[in-house]
Amino acid sequence: DAGITQSPRHKVTETGTPVTLRCHQTENHRYMYWYRQDPGHGLRLIHYSYGVKDTDKGEVSDGYSVSRSKTEDFLLTLESATSSQTSVYFCAIRRTGATGELFFGEGSRLTVL
């Protein structure tokens, strides 16, 4: 258990509404990541963070923003949700000093109607 908590775990929302997903870690690791998982696409990187207020875009960042105001929390925001953002979102951390493996949360399933 890498001490990663994602919230909410399930959410149904309507097109055009803002949505924020939260990833919380208890171990104060520097690197955090948001991925989305869709059938036929595997996992795709949305945004990542390499420190407080240090974030950058991944492969599929359009329509998403992130914030990291403290080490333990990495927030993913959909400013105006669209049906194409219906997905399962996973947060991951890379443990400091580790060889490179990621530790994943349990996922947040988002449905945009």
Partner 1 sequence: SQQGEEDPQALSIQEGENATMNCSYKTSINNLQWYRQNSGRGLVHLILIRSNEREKHSGRLRVTLDTSKKSSSLLITASRAADTASYFCATESNAGGTSYGKLTFGQGTILTVHP
Interacting residues with partner 1 (CB under 8 A): 31, 33, 35, 40-45, 48, 50, 56, 58-59, 90, 92, 94, 99-107
Question: Smallest distance from the beta carbon of 97 to partner 1, in angstroms?
Answer: 12
* Eight-state DSSP code of residue 87: E
Question: Which of 62, 101 has the CB closer to partner 1?
Answer: 101
Question: Which of 30, 67 has the CB closer to partner 1?
Answer: 30
Whether a cis peptide bond, with omega within 30° of 0, leads into 39 is no
Question: Which of 58, 63 has the CB closer to partner 1?
Answer: 58
Looking at beta carbons, which pairs linking 97-104 to residues 24 or more positions away fall under 8 Å?
102/33, 103/2, 103/4, 104/4
